[in-house]
Amino acid sequence: MLKKAVAGFVSAVVLFLWGFNFPLKAEALSGEDLSAYSAVLYCPDTKEIVFEKNKDDIRSMASTTKIMTSLIALEQNTPYRTVTITEEMVNVEGTSSGLRAEDKIKLIDLVYCMLLESGNDAANACAVAIGGSFEGFAEMMNKRAGEIGMENTNFVTPSGLDDENHYTTCYDMALLTAEALKNEAFKKICSEKTYTVTFEDSDKTVTLYNHNKLLGSYEGCIGVKTGFTKKSGRCLVSAAERNGVTLIAVTLNASDDWNDHEKMLDRGFSLYDTLTFSPDVSGFRVAVTGGQIQSVSTQVRTVTVPYLKDNGEPEISFKAYTERLL
């Protein structure tokens, strides 16, 4: 009960901070400056759309689909369970991570195969192992999409191979990525440049290489996923962190996606500043119900709040919040 009281108080403060109305503001970058058919630059902490070009247009998204497949796999809470690969899993066209029938591999290593090497075989393996079938896993993907608020998305394949009913928008992919980056395992994996998979009951190993070259060329880049099919064109989801600001960039069907993302991210970071908020809560106590003591003292961690500089520094009043709480 004691831990719950303190955790609840801290969570309330954080939610209060993120609850401020930061006006949406798209600035400076023109759609003509990008090669992408559709694009969006999104700040997940403030939920601001910093820039957009056809952000709600329905498009296919190729292997950026694997962001959702990986997130669902990591949310199973059994990342180290062993998956035995079958012919059904590896019978797929396109990019492979070298899986063979009868291989035994940990579920978390399948996520590495998806996010680094973009293995369609690994995506299929996750789908069958978790959903029981491709159709069953697609239902899980669409259910999770609904929970995230992806209103213009429908998943059919776990890998992103083309299907006329497999589609999304740039904005929906930004929302998905914001959700995925909350998962610490996902965030770590998509930022790795290389990783070696060791198979179970075998001396077989496979070294994976991340296809996202922004990880080595763009300051603060933390991922996320590349994609390509003839129908989709070049698709890219990237994220970068600088000075307490996180930005997510998405392009669908972009012939010059690397430069598109650098332009968007550069412009985004130039627009943002941060405010550090560390309220004095000394003397403030939280009542405890059903515990051995009546109340507990509080501690609040320092929080960094990003904001668009042109909008002015946001006003944050802890006093007003505590008055409401009491």
Q: Which residues are catalytic?
A: 63, 66, 118
CA count, 13 A, side-chain hemisphere, 24 = 8
How far is residue 18's CA from residue 221's CA, in Å, rounded to a whole number?
A: 23
CA–centroid distance for 138 within its chain = 19
How far is residue 165's CA from residue 168's CA, in Å, rounded to a whole number?
A: 10
